[in-house]
Amino acid sequence: MSGFATIAAAWLAAMTLIPALLLFTAAGSLLVELQKSTIESAEIALRQNHYKILNITVVQPHLIQFYVENEGPYAHRAANFRYVDVIITYVRKTDGALRSVWLSYDPGRAKPEGWRIIAVYTNGFAGELLDHIDLVDGYSGIWNVRETIEVEAWLDDLIDGQYPVLVRFVGAEWVGG
């Protein structure tokens, strides 16, 4: 191989490897930034969704009631309840099957399955001191920190009350406060 051919081959190899190295470095940097962003998003979601489920009761085979306390640090607009999922896991009365059902917010109880707020408590006392949630329309008002909402959830299936019922209250990121 002549000197010119060696130089040309070295130049060609360098021109192929340099972009590949740059691309690899950029991809690694992007991956690190993506991981940081994912961790920050998860931390924000954890900070924004602090609530506790209390006292789950099977009132009738198709109806349960439970309480959810807003532990803070943020108050939430009642209009954003439409973005909250309530997931009920129960044993079906008719055949003993374990079931999970997703329920959407339905303050007017127009759907065959859903959930709505039936009362609000402040520090254990019935009623609210600030920013009252309208229990009829269900979309106006504020769910303040340390307030507890009483929730009614209904299913078009029968719950066997001899077994525990699991309730998950999965809030959106409460966009807009």
Residue 88's pLDDT is what?
Answer: 96
* Tens digit of each residue's pLDDT (9 = 90 or more) over 106-161: 999 999 999 999 999 998 889 888 889 999 999 999 999 999 999 999 999 999 99
Does the pTM surpass 0.75? The reply is no
Q: What mean pLDDT comes out for the span 157-169?
A: 94
C-alpha Rg value of the chain to the nearest Å: 27
CB-based contact 55:68 (threshold 8 Å) = no
Residue 11's pLDDT is what?
Answer: 65
- Give me 145's structure tokens: 């920190």
* Tens digit of each residue's pLDDT (9 = 90 or more) over 39-93: 454 444 444 558 899 999 999 999 999 999 998 888 899 999 999 999 999 999 9
Residue type, 6: T
Q: What is the DSSP string of 73-101?
A: S--EEGGGGGG-EEEEEEEBTTT--EEEE
